[in-house]
């Protein structure tokens, strides 16, 4: 697995530029993911890689295409110091794991090997031996993620038909 | 401990007597909005989940404004998908080319937002309707799909930053300068997950169009929503637009805020934001002289009649500088008609500007004003991120309409008072 590490305020325009929003197909979104901030991302990213960001990750547009593009790239999760709120709820709603943990962001460098336990929120930097604890999701949010997204969870509750 | 204005609105929508910051609630929605970029993804999710019906065809608005009139085949196919869905579910508030406007100018104009209502939209600038004392916030396409099917959305009850406005705006200073000044103070995540609640004796002097602009860019400070109290100006705006009952909420005197900020409106200078963050603000005095090649006056932030009047007052009888393209986009068909009736459109065209049909186009680098390599634009839009309006080497300065128009005349960032 590889780590892709970025700074603060990674916005949705660099995660997936608006010029590609006319094709919401997941493969197309993944092909242009991070293009304006990291031209090599789409061609090198592999399943199980992790994106690490600073504060306010995913700020800007409400485009769900942004977490979809990262998820469709095969990225396992995003760890950031904080997330912009629409990106945060979009990731939860599509069942894509994100972890808020400033200490882990400071303690992870590109080239490190990192493992994550989504149940407990534990993040282990296997290269340095350090362990970090992300705040666990509230039960309600876990229910959404465990059901594979918001719509499935609403159906499971019998709210949506 | 009392509740903020936002907390009271959310408590009502959840059927609770009280809520507190951090609490997760499920609220009943008064309106669910989507556009031609976000609605198709919502439709896909709606169908994939096997959902069959919408909760209330009168409480869904679909506005085709981003890539319209369609810029390419793929955009046309997305619009066609929206059209088909709206027809299948008999969506009442479906706005196609000829009837549409930029969604956040259009919905208030059509009376689709009212005080105390809870509105979600699959567009980040849905926070605009807080100007009317509503709770409105941007969400994604899956939220839109769920909202269309159930009329419900989950929210984490936000804490709030109280912004106390005093004094009165001076000449060439408007809502855009207020919100850019605030974002410059607190940063692009200065109100992350929180409400921005605007209060104080300075509120009364702010026209509705200024309040829309201020709430519109609450998201650029990371806020969940921005909200103004309901006053005589709000009521006058609602007259003739909203006939259903609505309820105004005020914060309790003992409501708790994470932070209180005071802004003296009379002390504000015209303010701009340099690349690549809306928080990278300077006064026009500090920014003056920077050459630009394109000017955009429009968008959900600054495409309303007051904005066009301010721009036209500067451009009337003057000429757009050689080497500068000036693009003016009235935000709705009604605003376009009003601007024509007042002679503003003629002022723009005689000055050498182009006037476009309503579209979000250039704001997000979609069409109708995409930049080339290393070009600089001054724009009344809301984001100046890397690559937002063109290639990654292109640059955007955010400004209000008067400064944008003055800069069009000179070809450099200009204080309108200096013309």
**How far, in Å, CA of B409 to CA of B406, rounded?**
5
Interface check A23 vs B, CB under 8 A: yes
What is the average pLDDT score of chain B? Answer: 98
Interface check B334 vs A, CB under 8 A: no
DSSP single-letter state for residue A20: G
**How far, in Å, CA of A135 to CA of B335, rounded?**
48
DSSP single-letter state for residue A19: G
DSSP string, A60-102: S---THHHHHHHHTT--EEEES-B-HHHHHHHHHTT--EEE-H
**How far, in Å, CA of B303 to CA of B210, rounded?**
11
Residue B120, token pair as written in the block: 């979600």
Please determine, for residue A161, whether its predicted confidence score (pLDDT) is greater than 80: no
Q: What is the pLDDT at residue A135?
A: 84
Q: Which residue has the higher pLDDT, A136 or B219?
A: B219
> What is the model's pTM?
0.97
**How far, in Å, CA of B204 to CA of A61, rounded?**
31
Please determine, for residue A137, whether its predicted confidence score (pLDDT) is greater than 90: no
What burial letters (b/e) apply to B83-116, b meaning 16+ CB within 10 Å?
A: bebbeebebebbbeeeebbbbbbbbbbbebbbbb
**Contact of A79 with A106, CB cutoff 8 Å:** no
- Residues of B with Cβ-Cβ distance to A154 under 8 angstroms: 146, 149-150
Q: What is the pLDDT at residue B62?
A: 98
CA distance A126 to chain B (A): 31
pLDDT in tens, B92-112: 999 999 999 999 999 999 999
Interface of B with A in 184-213 (CB under 8 A): 188-189, 192-193
Interface check B139 vs A, CB under 8 A: yes
What burial letters (b/e) apply to B328-346, b meaning 16+ CB within 10 Å?
A: bbbbbbbbbebbeeeebbe
The arrangement of strands across the sheet holding A130-133 comes to: A114-117, A122-125, A130-133
Question: What is the ipTM score, two decimals?
Answer: 0.96
pLDDT in tens, B119-144: 999 999 999 999 999 999 999 999 99
Note whether A161 contacts B149, CB cutoff 8 Å: yes
**Contact of B65 with B37, CB cutoff 8 Å:** no
Note whether B38 contacts A62, CB cutoff 8 Å: yes
CA dihedral B200, B201, B205, B207 (to 10 degrees): 20
Please determine, for residue A119, whether its predicted confidence score (pLDDT) is greater than 90: no
**Contact of A3 with A108, CB cutoff 8 Å:** yes
pLDDT in tens, B229-240: 999 999 999 999
Residue of B38, B193, B222 with shortest CB distance to A59:
B222
**How far, in Å, CA of B285 to CA of B111, rounded?**
39
HEC per residue, B301-355: HHCCHHHHHHHHHHHCCCCCCCCCEEEECCCCHHHHHHHHHCCHHHHHHHHCCEE
Which SS3 state, helix, strand or coil, does residue A122 take? strand
CA distance B390 to chain A (A): 9
Residue of A9, A22, A93 with shortest CB distance to B74:
A22
Interface check B383 vs A, CB under 8 A: yes
pLDDT in tens, B26-65: 999 999 999 999 999 999 999 999 999 999 999 999 999 9
pLDDT in tens, B365-409: 999 999 999 999 999 999 999 999 999 999 999 999 999 999 999
Residue A87: strand pairing partners: none
Interface test with B, best of A16, A53, A58, A86 (most B CBs within 10 A): A86
Q: What is the pLDDT at residue A145?
A: 83
pLDDT in tens, A24-56: 999 999 999 999 999 999 999 999 999 999 999
Interface check B38 vs A, CB under 8 A: yes
Please determine, for residue A148, whether its predicted confidence score (pLDDT) is greater than 90: no
Q: Quick one: B399 exposed, middle or buried, by C-beta within 10 A (0-12, 13-18, 19+)?
A: buried
- Residues of A with Cβ-Cβ distance to B142 under 8 angstroms: 64, 90, 93-94, 149-151
pLDDT in tens, B164-219: 999 999 999 999 999 999 999 999 999 999 999 999 999 999 999 999 999 999 99
**Contact of B167 with B265, CB cutoff 8 Å:** yes
Split at pLDDT 50, 70, 90, the class of A160 is confident
- Chain B residue whose CA is closest to A139: B24
DSSP single-letter state for residue A149: S
Q: What is the pLDDT at residue A140?
A: 83
Q: What is the pLDDT at residue B1?
A: 85
Residues whose CB falls within 8 Å of the CB of residue B240, separated by 6 or more in sequence, listed in order = none
Mutual orientation of helices B208-216 and B175-186 as an angle, nearest 10°? 30
Q: What is the pLDDT at residue A143?
A: 86
CA distance B330 to chain A (A): 22
Residues whose CB falls within 8 Å of the CB of residue A72, separated by 6 or more in sequence, listed in order = A26, A27, A29, A30, A33
């Amino acid at each position: 697995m590889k780590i892709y590490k970025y700074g603060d305020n990674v916005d949705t325009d660099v995660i997936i530029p608006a010029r590609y929003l006319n094709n919401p197909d997941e493969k197309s979104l993944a092909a242009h993911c991070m293009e304006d901030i990291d031209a090599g991302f789409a061609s090198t990213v592999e399943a199980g890689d992790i994106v690490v960001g600073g504060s306010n990750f995913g700020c800007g547009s409400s485009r769900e295409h942004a977490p979809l593009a990262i998820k469709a790239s095969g990225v396992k999760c995003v760890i950031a110091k904080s997330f912009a709120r629409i990106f945060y709820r979009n990731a939860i709603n599509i069942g894509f794991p994100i972890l808020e943990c400033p200490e882990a962001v400071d303690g992870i460098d590109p080239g490190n090997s990192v493992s994550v336990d989504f149940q407990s929120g534990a993040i282990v930097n296997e290269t340095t031996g350090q362990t970090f604890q992300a705040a666990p999701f509230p039960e309600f949010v876990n229910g959404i993620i465990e059901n594979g997204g918001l719509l499935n969870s609403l159906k499971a509750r019998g709210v949506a038909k | 401990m009392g509740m903020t204005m936002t907390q009271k609105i959310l408590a009502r929508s959840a059927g609770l007597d009280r809520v507190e910051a951090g609490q997760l609630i499920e609220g009943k929605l008064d309106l669910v909005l989507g556009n031609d970029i976000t609605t198709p993804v919502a439709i896909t999710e709606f169908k994939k989940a096997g959902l069959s019906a919408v909760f209330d065809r009168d409480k869904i608005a679909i506005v085709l404004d981003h890539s319209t009139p369609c810029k390419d085949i793929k955009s046309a196919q997305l619009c066609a998908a929206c059209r088909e869905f709206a027809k299948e579910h008999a969506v009442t508030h479906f706005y196609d080319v000829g009837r549409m406007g930029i969604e956040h100018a259009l919905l208030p104009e059509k009376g689709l937002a009212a005080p105390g209502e809870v509105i979600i939209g699959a567009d980040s600038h849905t926070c605009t309707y807080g100007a009317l004392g509503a709770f409105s916030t941007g969400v994604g396409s899956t939220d839109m799909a769920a909202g269309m099917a159930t009329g419900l959305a989950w929210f984490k009850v936000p804490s709030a930053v109280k912004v106390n406005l005093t004094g009165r705006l001076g000449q060439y200073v408007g809502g855009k300068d207020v919100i850019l000044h605030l974002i410059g103070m607190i940063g692009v995540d200065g109100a992350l997950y929180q409400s921005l609640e605007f209060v104080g004796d300075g509120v009364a002097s702010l026209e509705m169009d200024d309040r829309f602009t201020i709430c519109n860019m609450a998201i650029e400070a990371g806020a969940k929503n921005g909200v103004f109290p309901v006053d005589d100006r709000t009521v006058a705006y609602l007259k003739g637009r909203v006939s259903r009952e609505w309820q105004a909420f005020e914060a309790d005197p003992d409501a708790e805020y994470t932070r209180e900020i005071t802004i003296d409106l009379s002390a504000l200078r015209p303010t701009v934001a340099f690349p690549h963050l809306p928080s990278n603000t300077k006064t026009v005095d500090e920014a003056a002289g920077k050459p630009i090649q394109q000017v955009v006056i429009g968008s959900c932030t600054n495409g309303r009649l007051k904005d066009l009047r301010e721009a036209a007052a500067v451009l009337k009888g003057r000429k757009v500088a050689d080497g500068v393209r000036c693009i003016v986009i009235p935000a709705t068909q009604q605003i376009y008609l009003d601007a024509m009736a007042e002679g503003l459109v003629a002022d723009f065209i005689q000055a050498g500007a182009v006037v476009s049909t309503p579209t979000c186009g250039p704001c997000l680098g979609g069409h109708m004003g995409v930049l080339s390599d290393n070009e600089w634009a001054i724009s009344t839009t809301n984001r100046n991120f890397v690559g937002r309006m063109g290639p990654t080497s292109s640059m955007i300065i955010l400004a209000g309409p008067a400064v944008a128009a003055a800069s069009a005349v000179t070809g450099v960032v200009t204080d309108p008072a200096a013309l």
